[in-house]
Amino acid sequence: MKKANLFFSFLILVAIVGCSKDDLNLQEEATEDIIVKKTVDLNGFRSAGSGVMMQAFYWDVPAGGVWWDTLSTKIASWSSAGIDAIWLPPASKAQNGPFSMGYDPFDYYDFGSYDQMGSIETRFGSLTELQNLISTAHSADMSVIADIVINHNSGGNYEFNPFVSDSTWTDFQPASGNFLRSYYDFHPNDYHSYDSGSFGGYPDMCHHKTYVQDWLWNNSNSVAKYYMNTMGFDGWRFDYVKGFEPWVVHDWVNEVGGFAVGEYWDSNVSTLDWWTGEANASAFDFACYYAMRDALSNNDLTYLNGDMLWKTNASRAVTFVANHDTDEIYNNKILAYAYILTHEGYPTVFYQDYEEWLDKDALNNLIWIHNNLASGSTEILHVDNDEYIAKRNGYNANGLIVYINNSDSWLERWVPTNWSSTVIKDYTGNSSWEPTTQSGTWVKIQAPPHGYTVWSTK
């Protein structure tokens, strides 16, 4: 969740839409939908988690309704590079209409079809353009991950709220006609006073209300089932999951299936691991992110010896180097990608790093290495301020050895391998050596200054 600008946008809305609602009694009961449980069917293309995910946006991507079409032109090359999933920004209509990045949600069913909040299209484009993007991704063997913002809402009308004896911006009458909300559906209410966190002064949704649960994931026309069955999304990135209990994500995923990852912004590995178990979902590995940041900013690779979610629970760890909220790794950022793309966990590549800032060929090479060589358990072979060497042991494959060098000079080191009397090579092209393992399985490898090499059998 982007911390800047959203609260100020809320204040602007207060000035613009300060009209009262005549009928303050919104129906609390959900519409008479048949409850249908559906598990996502990913047959026909790679499911998220089997390769590398692309975060297909950054904060303040170009406005004007062009982003979905821009992404559609990238799909073929991303798929060829080995990207198995794209994570899209929140796609439905938000309070700031054509200017919103989507984290101030208003109408979960308006993807650019209704004239509300100052526009028909969203910042990113029209419903048709989004559908074309999703179809294009599926045709290219890629999953599409929806960014789900259900902690809070924004853009409601002013209504008297008896639970606070004052008026609140909690009267939601979206043009889609789906998931109408009133003060009953936000904290505090007649059933529940608060949950684990609010955000920026926005109305804080109460997930304990049956009406809210039905509209978010239980009903046949719930947000979750509409996104999956009608729109074609395949999985979920849950925003600001510190703001509500993990059972919310658990129940959502249990109802509809699909890959799921939560933004639990915390570097405590025990806390991250606890959340993944309670939510039955993956989590972004903030512990890994901060260790890489500290290692590269302090020129001390021993930070990489620290605890990380991928070391504790690799199958639930989504690793990343940057995202739309935080981009603090400036020094030798490619070394951080060399780290996450050779280690356990499900790595994410940030759009601007791939398309604008870093060497795309180098990233494509690392993505290939991840998808073809990086398998099996991990052993750290050597680490000091300047050097980090680790071995992936492989699953019925040869695995790899990654050598990261953060010094100003070429470095060499003898290391143990899993290969006896075998010629190996560097798959990055940064070294021309092709040594043969000796003395059983030992071999000398090298890495360039402020660079890396990745070794495996020739």
Residues tagged active-site:
239, 263
CA distance 100 to 328: 24
Euclidean distance between CA atoms 51 and 372, whole angstroms? 10
- Kindly report whether the peptide bond that precedes residue 162 is cis, defined as omega within 30 degrees of 0: no
DSSP class of residue 216 equals I
Q: Which residue has the tokens 């070391």?
A: 311
d(CA 254, CA 278): 12
State the Cα angle at 427 between 426 and 428, rounded to 5°: 95
- CA pseudo-torsion sign 356, 326, 99, 232: positive
- For residue 279, give the nearest of 308, 254, 307, 243 by alpha carbon: 254
* Amino acid symbol at 188: P
151 has binding-site annotation: yes
Q: Cα–Cα distance between 71 and 50 in angstroms, integer?
A: 21
Strands, E assignment, 219-323? 235-238, 259-262, 282-284, 317-320
The first and second tokens of residue 218, run together, are: 């239980």
Pairing of strands 424-426, 442-447: unpaired
422-432 in b/e burial notation, b at 16+ Cβ within 10 A?
bebbbbbebbe
37: alpha, beta or left, given left = phi > 0 and alpha = psi -120 to 50? beta
- Return the amino acid letter for 452: Y
CB 262 within 8 A of CB 293: no
What residues have CB less than 8 Å from 1, skipping those under 6 apart? 103, 149, 199, 239, 240, 263, 325
| Strand locations in 77-133 (E) | 83-87, 93-94, 105-107
Which residues, in sequence order, are CB contacts of 450 under 8 Å at separation 6+? 332, 335, 405, 406, 407, 408
> What residue numbers does the annotated binding site for Ca(2+) cover?
151
